[in-house]
């Protein structure tokens, strides 16, 4: 059986097709510029070396999904004979609010609830819902499952998820910390437990996801107990273009003294800050090259990036007592020895001892896990490549394999 994983953005669809069980990737791709001039579909089939690129205008998401399906069904190069081979479609959905704690079989009510959560994720939930509606029409024989980016963090206790604001803002406007990247944090936590040969419920972990967006979680006895992103993904660590933590009074200050209105402030904090704001680039590889050659802006950006990480490690260490392992993942976490080293430097008093030689390596593929601590280290330091699509496929599989009473036939 096959499961198609799709991640629908406002003008893009990212997808990956898996053979299940076993989560063997068959094909993957990215469709860009939906609804704009010059749509581009880049499709990779695992059997062929070169990607296939198709350029044509794609007016909407349904036509986009149809174009993807046409490629998958192509009689010479496709890996499907008929759409019904896709038993289920797993959808990445950014915001499930307090309603969704786990992957969920999609019904009309679930789609309505995803749309009702749009005020919490205005850029993501509406296109996610459009993707689901389109997939339901194009794959009428497939089950549809929603996997929520917020779900893993729904175990946060109240003292961790509330802001110190009037309680009415929580009750009436759902203002609280939700956390994001949950699929990635959950996946690497599960893999860390397997690697440590422990039940996840016996593991205390700090998981650090460092991609363009960056976030960190404290996982206590296998359950997320704190995370760095909040009501929106803006809170917490320094990211590619997001500021992370700032004084909330910054907003009033900018409005009063810099003549900026709310959309401008939102744009600065979300799209023009972080590494981009500090060093003019949101690509950590560029910044590290400039850091090595003594560029002042790059030096400040890298130092601040790692200092923020170090502060959060200290906080989560205190929250957990002592973690069993610290896990690095995503583009920067998996591939940058310098960032890992600068972040962990000086933490020996916390029994964190990095081995510089082991740290110089990066995982060879999506399956290998590296341990990079010295032998004397009381805390294991792990690099675990994240694989959010695979996790969505696995969670989709678990939903369709365990039907609720009368919900759907077993597959």
Please state, in angstroms and as integers, the Cα–Cα distance from residue 303 to each residue in 58, 162, 202, 387, following that order.
43, 30, 34, 28
Residues 13, 61 contacting (CB under 8 angstroms): yes
Under the criterion CB under 6 A, does residue 281 sit at the interface with ligand ADP? Answer: no
> Contact with ligand ADP (CB under 6 A): which of 11, 23, 155, 212?
212
d(CA 253, CA 244): 17
**Segment interacting with ligand ADP, rule: CB under 6 A, options 127-135, 215-223, 324-332, 347-355:** 324-332
Nearer to ligand ADP, 283 or 295 (CB): 283
Position among 218, 330, 372, 383 found at the interface with ligand ADP (CB under 6 A): 330
Q: Examine residue 192 and tell whether it contacts ligand ADP (CB under 6 A).
A: no
CB of 290 to ligand ADP, least distance (A): 12
Tokens (6 digits) for 226:
């704190």
- Determine how β-strand 2-8 pairs with β-strand 86-93: parallel
Stretch (H or E) spanning 353: none
216 binds ligand ADP (CB under 6 A): no
- Choice among 45, 149, 226, 387 that is catalytic: 149
Q: What is the dihedral of CA 325, 330, 336, 342, to 10 degrees?
A: -50
Look-up: residue for tokens 């819902």?
129
Write down the least CB distance from residue 80 to ligand ADP, Å.
26
Instruction: Confirm if 326 and 376 have CB atoms less than 8 A apart.
Output: no
Q: What's the CA gap between 96 and 109, in Å, rounded? A: 13
> Which of residues 85, 102, 266, 283 is near ligand ADP by CB under 6 A?
283
Binding mask 237-276 for ligand ADP (x = CB under 6 A): ---x------------------------------------
182 sits near ligand ADP (criterion: CB under 6 A) = no
User: Is 199 designated active site?
Assistant: no
Span from 138-146, 280-288, 347-355, 365-373 in contact with ligand ADP (CB under 6 A): 280-288
Q: Give the Cβ contact number of residue 105 at 10 Å.
A: 17
Structure tokens at 358: 């082991």
Site residues (vs ligand ADP, CB under 6 A): 211-213, 240, 283-285, 288, 330-332, 335-336
| Active-site residue list | 149
């Amino acid at each position: 059986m096959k499961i198609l994983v799709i991640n629908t953005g406002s003008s893009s669809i990212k997808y990956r097709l898996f053979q299940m069980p076993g989560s063997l990737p068959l094909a993957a791709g990215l469709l860009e510029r939906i609804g704009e001039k010059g749509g581009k579909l880049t499709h990779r089939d695992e059997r062929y070396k070169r990607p296939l690129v198709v350029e044509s205008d794609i007016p909407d998401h349904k036509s986009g999904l149809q174009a993807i399906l046409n490629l998958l069904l192509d009689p010479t190069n496709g890996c499907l004979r008929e759409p019904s081979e896709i038993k289920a479609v797993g959808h990445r959905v950014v915001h499930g609010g307090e309603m969704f704690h786990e992957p969920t079989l999609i019904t009309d009510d679930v789609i309505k609830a995803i749309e009702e959560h749009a005020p919490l994720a205005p850029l993501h939930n509406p296109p996610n819902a459009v993707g689901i509606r389109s997939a339901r029409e194009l794959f009428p024989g497939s089950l549809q499952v929603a996997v929520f980016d917020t779900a893993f963090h729904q175990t946060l206790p109240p003292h961790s998820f509330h802001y110190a604001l009037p309680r009415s803002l929580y009750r009436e406007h759902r203002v609280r910390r939700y956390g994001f990247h949950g699929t990635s944090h959950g996946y690497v936590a599960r893999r860390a437990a397997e690697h440590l040969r422990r039940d996840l419920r016996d593991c205390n972990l700090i998981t650090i996801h460092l991609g363009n967006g960056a976030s960190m979680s404290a996982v206590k006895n296998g359950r997320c107990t704190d995370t760095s992103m909040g009501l929106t993904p803006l809170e917490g660590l320094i990211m590619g273009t997001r500021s992370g933590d700032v004084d909330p009074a910054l907003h009033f200050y900018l409005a009063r003294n810099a003549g900026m209105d709310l959309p401008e402030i939102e744009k600065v904090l979300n799209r023009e800050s972080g590494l981009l704001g500090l060093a003019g680039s949101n690509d950590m590889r560029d910044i590290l090259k400039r850091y090595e050659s003594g560029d002042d802006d790059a030096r400040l950006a890298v130092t601040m990036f790692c200092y923020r990480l170090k502060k959060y490690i200290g906080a989560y260490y205190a929250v957990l007592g002592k973690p069993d392992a610290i896990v690095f993942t995503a583009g920067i976490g998996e591939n940058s020895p310098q960032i890992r080293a600068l972040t962990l430097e000086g933490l020996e008093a916390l029994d964190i001892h990095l081995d510089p030689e082991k740290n110089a390596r990066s995982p060879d593929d999506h399956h290998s896990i590296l341990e990079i601590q010295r032998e004397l280290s009381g805390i294991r330091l792990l690099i675990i490549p994240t694989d959010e699509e695979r996790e969505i496929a696995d969670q989709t599989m678990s939903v369709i394999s365990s039907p609720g009473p009368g919900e759907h036939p077993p597959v």
